[in-house]
A and B are shown apart, each in its own frame.
Chain A
């Protein structure tokens, strides 16, 4: 389980995040929504320790870190906690297969290639496994990045707007995979604008604006938002989709 308490992030005099409290439970999907620049990605980066919070406490699998005092040894946290970023960052000199297989090989797994092939099969990329990222479509890249992250058998998966550049069909395919990962027992935190996916798959929803959690709850907050800010945000999203 991941528990974040009072996480804040400062950059110079600017407050990027303030008092973020979150819990991620195994076999659950938590969705973060909010307008651009609200702090969604920074929340994800802080919770994954890619950026260290300026203050607050973070407990990952029972190991607690207090910021700014602690400098976590990320090698003990990653890749059991892993992430797929919006721009994916598939390694362009490697094929999709090698993108998935490399971390497994580096971890010394004897079944690296077999597992990489199985992961690509699972996300429907068996036929394009030998393509380079620049030869793959947007949807194929998203699924390859997902396969790379999941291949290492993480317990916590953070996804940052990974369907934002996809058409409805391709996004649907990716979201279906995420749903299946939840049933595998992963704790998933996803930053997304897909209200349909959130409504059907998320167990918890967190609405962030100006670096703060404005409202949080179950999927019902999409139908019955309590705060005017979330009401306004949802009406804008619905009018543009």
Chain B
């Protein structure tokens, strides 16, 4: 069977898997971007209370493989009698990873932001709120958008690990199809194509934004 035939014959399994992956992503992306941004801002404002703990947590998360973290959250909880559906175990574990990654990006961007842009805004007559809204916020967003998008693509790829705790996402769907027909090269190439179709445009957008804003903000980032 070639890749196209596999897609046609098992489109239902692939579609279901892809939908589960996208549902998982939606939870991870929303929680990561919203809570992560909030944690990042708080960590910047309260460096001792929140900044140091989030730095330590980020260091921990970077050092420990995502899969191990997923197992830590899923299996010990089950042994303690807390039986979360695998989808929610994966959602929570990967959301925590994403929240910390986003918080790190936001905290770093706020910490590195040249305060002189705000000083100039204030001395030019803008109020503190106007300076935040018209100067700091747009500059920070432009600065972090490419890395935020790249992180979300990485998180999308990390959803593959959810298959290890029996979440019926796209990788597990591919595994199931492979168990039936044993065509690993074609099946996993099909999976790769699906990921390329989903991740490619997002990654392209990240590159485009990086190129577009990167040049404009060269003055900002060179400080």
Q: Which residues of A does B touch, CB under 8 Å?
A: 48, 50, 74-75, 78-79, 81-83, 85, 87, 89-93, 102-103, 106-107, 132-134, 148-149, 152
Q: Which of B106-126 contact A (CB under 8 A)?
A: 114, 116-117, 119-126
Report the interface size for chain B: residues with CB under 8 A from the other chain: 26
Q: B218's closest neighbor in chain A, by CB?
A: A134
Residues in B neighbouring A81, C-beta threshold 8 A: 123
Given contacts A50-B119, A85-B120, contact A92 B216 (CB under 8 A): yes
- B139 contacts A134, CB within 8 Å? no
- B124 contacts A78, CB within 8 Å? yes
Binds A, one of B26-34, B130-138, B163-171: B130-138
Residues in B neighbouring A82, C-beta threshold 8 A: 123-125
- B124 contacts A92, CB within 8 Å? no
Q: Which residues of B does A touch, CB under 8 Å?
A: 114, 116-117, 119-127, 130, 134-135, 138-139, 142, 213, 215-220, 223
Residues in A neighbouring B218, C-beta threshold 8 A: 92, 134
Main secondary structure of the interface of B (DSSP, over half): helix
- B220 contacts A103, CB within 8 Å? no
- B117 contacts A152, CB within 8 Å? no
C-alpha gap A199/B135 in the complex (Å): 38
Q: A133's closest neighbor in chain B, by CB?
A: B219
Minimum Cβ distance to chain A for residue B158 (Å): 32
Minimum Cβ distance to chain A for residue B129 (Å): 10
Residues in A neighbouring B217, C-beta threshold 8 A: 92-93
